[in-house]
Amino acid sequence: NDQALSTKPGYVALSLVFILFGLAVVAASINLLVLRFMTM
């Protein structure tokens, strides 16, 4: 498994980008919910 990860840097980079994108979406949704509750 370690050798497979070392020989596929593009796959690791893609997974990191996917994780960061997911975190950004979660943060944006949380911000929208907080703003919606604050304005109520």
The pLDDT tens digits for 1-40 are 666 656 677 888 899 999 999 999 999 999 999 999 888 7
> 22 burial class (0-12, 13-18, 19+ CB within 10 angstroms)?
exposed
Q: What is the pLDDT of residue 16?
A: 93
Instruction: Using the structure block, give the residue that is written with the tokens 């919910």.
Output: 33
**pLDDT in the model for residue 12:** 84
pLDDT of residue 26: 98
pLDDT at 18: 96
Q: For 4, which DSSP code?
A: H
pTM of the complete model = 0.56
pLDDT at 11: 85
The domain limits of the chain are 2-39
